Amino acid sequence: MAMNFDESPSRRLPVYLLLDTSGSMAGAPIVAVNNGVGLLYRELLNNPSSVETVWMSVITFAADAKRQPLTELTHFTPPVLTAGGPTAMGAALKELGRALDTEIIPNVPGGDRKGDYKPLAFLLTDGVPTDEWQTAAEALKKRTVGRLGTFVALGCGDEVKVDVLKAITDKVLLMRDVQGDTLQEFFRWVSASIKQASIAAPRTGTGESLTMMPPPPPTIETI
């Protein structure tokens, strides 16, 4: 005796990656980030819970911000990133806010589908914003509905302004000695965090468990 339910739309765990592709990322850094996104993708594909729930979006920022729409993990293709131009981080934050407004599906009483799980966002930058970023950052912090579950900002290297990142989110990490290996560790940690959230998500909870993350790797400081 078995039931065959239709394949109705799944509940999604939205994950946004905000990646700095400005000129200072050219060369080794952008290669490392490309490798890191690929690594993240492959790691998530090995986790059945992530395969069934994670939807990814990449927002790159340089002269302006470009957003890849939220895409089911199994249909996601890691973008090939190239670097060049200034650091329009404000535009990226604005784009993230727009994505939360337009892409997130909330629970609606009596609705025909279940809403999304709390979204996660990870920002990686090695520089300072070259555009107006405060308005978008404040708007993200002030959201009362459609808030991010977790927003982590990773600053890479000595040029990054920790104060700016702290104004964007409370969860700021700093990688002073940036190497290909250490950046791979960061993406592995992002993968572990997403996997943990994808395991916590389908279980009944207050939603808090989605925001609990493993401690970052030793090469990264928590600010």
Partner 1 sequence: MTPRRSALLFVLDATGGSGVVYRVAVYLQHLVRQLRTTAGLTRRARIEVLIADHTSAQIVTIDDLLTMAASVAFDAAPFGLHPNTITAMVQTMPYEGGGFHVFFLLTRDLAANWEAELPALHQMVASVTGLCCGPLAPPATATRLSKEPGGTRVVNPLDRIRIQFDSIAAWLSRDFGDPPVAPPLPDVVPVPTGWSGGAELPGAAPTPPAPMHPRPATHPTAQWRILEPTDRTDSVPHSEHTHQPGSAGWSMIAASRRGKLHAHEGTYRDDAYALGSADGWNFIAVADGAGSCRLSRVGAHIATTAAIAALQAAATAMAVQVALASDAPGFPIPRHHAQGLEVIQQHLAHSLHAAQRAVEAEARRRAIPVRDLSSTLLVLAHYPTAHGDQVLAGGQIGAGQILLVENDHQFRPLGEANVGFYSGETIFVPMPSSSELERCVWATWLPTPWLVLVMTDGIADDLYPPARQVPVLIQGITGVLRAHPADQHLLDLIAYEKRDSADDRTLAVLYRPEVM
In the complex, minimum distance from the CB of residue 73 to partner 1, in angstroms, rounded to a whole number: 8
In the complex, minimum distance from the CB of residue 87 to partner 1, in angstroms, rounded to a whole number: 11
Cα 6 from Cα 31, distance rounded (Å): 42
Cα 27 from Cα 57, distance rounded (Å): 24
In the complex, minimum distance from the CB of residue 59 to partner 1, in angstroms, rounded to a whole number: 18
The answer to whether residues 100 and 148 touch, using CB atoms and an 8 Å cutoff, is yes
The answer to whether residues 121 and 16 touch, using CB atoms and an 8 Å cutoff, is yes
Nearer to partner 1, 42 or 69 (CB): 42
- DSSP code per residue over 12-46: -EEEEEEEE-SGGGTTHHHHHHHHHHHHHHHHHHT
In the complex, minimum distance from the CB of residue 217 to partner 1, in angstroms, rounded to a whole number: 5
Nearer to partner 1, 160 or 173 (CB): 160
Q: Which amino acid makes up residue 208? A: E
Nearer to partner 1, 82 or 134 (CB): 82
Q: How far is CA 19 from CA 28, 40, 53, in A?
A: 15, 14, 22
Nearer to partner 1, 77 or 135 (CB): 77
In the complex, minimum distance from the CB of residue 16 to partner 1, in angstroms, rounded to a whole number: 15
Q: How far is CA 59 from CA 34, 102, 190, 206, 219, in A?
A: 13, 15, 16, 29, 25
Nearer to partner 1, 158 or 170 (CB): 158
